[in-house]
Amino acid sequence: MPPAHRGGTRSRRRGRGTERLAPYVLVAPAVLIIVVLRLYPLLLGVNFSLTGDGERNGTVVGLDNYLELFRDPLFRTALGNVGLLVLLLPVAVAIPGLLATFIYLRVPGHRFYRSVYFFPAVLSPVIVGAIFNLLLAFDGPLNAILGSVGLAPVDWLGDPDVAMFMVVGVHVWATFGMALVVFLAGFATLDSALLDAARVDGASLPQVIWHVIVPSLSRTIQFVFVTTMIGMLTSMFGLLFVMTSGGPEGSTYLPEYYIWIQQGQMNRPALASAASTALFVIMLVVGLLQIKLLKRAGKED
């Protein structure tokens, strides 16, 4: 349907040709940029991952990069950490979900809580990482508190068994406000008659959450699950870079950090591309799996 037929001014319009092209002219910059700088690189990267690095640059090496990738202990640690993120995901979703519930139910001071909780979400991961570098330093304030109550200091960012938990913890600290706002937007669509009915029936708060809020907000919960997971996989770089640089002993690697190291420091772009492709596949699988699981859980309710 050409747009010229919509108005009644056909006869007065000269240059009908350019008018008909107008929609294409308007979308052209956006489409060109997105296709050339986002979609095409995705294909290029997959292609790239099948070629060699260094002296084998440009030659097709099949799946060699992938084999090397999965033999690399650093990449395996990165995958293990992805597993850890998946395990911690329900906590990272439940915290903002619960807080949003309380704010929705108007606990005293709900407006204040809302703006305070959201605030770290606007800070750069670099800023957040730097602030927690101060707080978690071995001779820093947190250990000073531990010392004053007679506890031994903990090497928060230097102990391989502790560091990853600290980085994830800080990430959750910094991002739960984002999920909180999304939950509140979901609550805006909730039918308050359901809550009134539950109240009349004498339901307790946990019952209300489980039987009214969770089923009604299933779409929002689904959305938060997927975006929180994607956030964990793709927006921790700043924290990792500033807080631990992947250490101690490579214990805080995530695929995104691995890609950056292989590309920037090790000069292994093809290997980095293989890791990129693996990260993309992980994101697809995790995303689709979550949607499927959550849909099924929603149906059983």
Partner 1 sequence: MSRIPLGRWVVAVPMSLLALATIYPLLFTVNVAMKTRREYILDRFSLAGDLRWENITTAWTSVGMGRYFANSVLVVTCSVVLLLLFGSMAGFALSQLRFRGSSALFLGCLAGLFVPFQVIMVPLARIMADGGLIDTYPGLVLVYVAQFLPFTVFLMTSYYKTIPPDIVDAARIDGNSVYGVYRRIMLPLGTPALLSVGILNALFCWNDVLMSLVMMPSADHRTLMVGVTSLRGQYSNDIPTFASGVLIAAIPVLVVYLFLQRQIADGVAAGSTKG
The one segment of 60-68, 158-166, 270-278, 292-300 that binds partner 1 by CB under 8 A: 270-278
Smallest separation (angstroms) from partner 1 to the CB of 163? 16
Among 105, 214, 291, 297, indicate the residue that binds partner 1 (CB under 8 A). 105
- DSSP letters, 158-202, are T-HHHHHHHHHHHHHHHHHHHHHHHHHHHHTTS-HHHHHHHHHTT
Cα 2 from Cα 276, distance rounded (Å) = 42
* Residue 11 found at the interface with partner 1 (CB under 8 A): no
* Residue 165 found at the interface with partner 1 (CB under 8 A): no
Rounded to 5 degrees, what are φ and ψ at 57?
-50, 125
Q: CB under 8 Å to 184, separation ≥6 — which residues?
A: 100, 103, 104, 114
* Residue 247 found at the interface with partner 1 (CB under 8 A): no
Nearer of residues 201 and 249 to partner 1, judged by Cβ: 201
Smallest separation (angstroms) from partner 1 to the CB of 203? 8
Among 82, 163, 164, 272, indicate the residue that binds partner 1 (CB under 8 A). 272
Amino acid code (one letter) for 224: V
The closest of 263, 254, 262 to 283, measured between CA atoms, is 254
Rounded to 5 degrees, what are φ and ψ at 52?
-95, 170
Smallest separation (angstroms) from partner 1 to the CB of 36? 8
* Residue 147 found at the interface with partner 1 (CB under 8 A): no
Of 187-226, binders to partner 1 (CB under 8 A) are 189, 192, 195-196, 198-199, 203-205, 208, 220, 223
Of 34-53, binders to partner 1 (CB under 8 A) are 34-42, 44-45, 48
Among 118, 158, 216, 247, indicate the residue that binds partner 1 (CB under 8 A). 118
Cα 251 from Cα 273, distance rounded (Å) = 22
* Residue 153 found at the interface with partner 1 (CB under 8 A): no
Rounded to 5 degrees, what are φ and ψ at 8?
-110, 25
